[in-house]
Amino acid sequence: NAGVTQTPKFQVLKTGQSMTLQCAQDMNHEYMSWYRQDPGMGLRLIHYSVGAGITDQGEVPNGYNVSRSTTEDFPLRLLSAAPSQTSVYFCASSSPGTVLYEQYFGPGTRLTVT
């Protein structure tokens, strides 16, 4: 099992550019989510999905889109990058139900927007 994988590891964007952060898991987990972590701060939930074809907003969804066409993949799209989106992005997955909060995180994507 590779677990949760994220690509790229590092990315530098110019303001206004768009890009997609990739997240994949091979554990057949139905639940997947995206967090961002700013320096010295906790993680904030951006979007989440409870299964293929189902997505919903977390606490900081503005500027980001997601889709879930397969169980394995949950890409995060930045529509028009802004310096405020400079952060480390983590993807996580788990099974629903009583183990929903036993989540497995990817290694993160470090994004800098200039």
Partner 1 sequence: DAKTTQPPSMDCAEGRAANLPCNHSTISGNEYVYWYRQIHSQGPQYIIHGLKNNETNEMASLIITEDRKSSTLILPHATLRDTAVYYCIVRPSVSSNTGKLIFGQGTTLQVKP
Q: In the complex, which residues of this chain contact partner 1 (CB under 8 A)?
A: 4, 31, 33, 42-43, 45, 48, 50, 56, 58-59, 90, 92, 94, 96-98, 100-108
User: Which C-beta is closer to partner 1: that of 64 or that of 90?
Assistant: 90
Q: Which residues fall within 8 angstroms of residue 7, CB to CB, at 6 or more apart?
A: 21, 22, 109
What DSSP line would sit under 21-83, residue for residue?
EEEEESS--SEEEEEEE-TTS-EEEEEEEEETTEEEE-S--TTEEE--SSSSB--EEESS--G
Shortest Cβ distance from residue 82 to partner 1 (Å)?
23
User: Which C-beta is closer to partner 1: that of 34 or that of 113?
Assistant: 34
Q: Tokens representing 54? A: 């189902």
User: Which C-beta is closer to partner 1: that of 14 or that of 98?
Assistant: 98
Shortest Cβ distance from residue 37 to partner 1 (Å)?
8
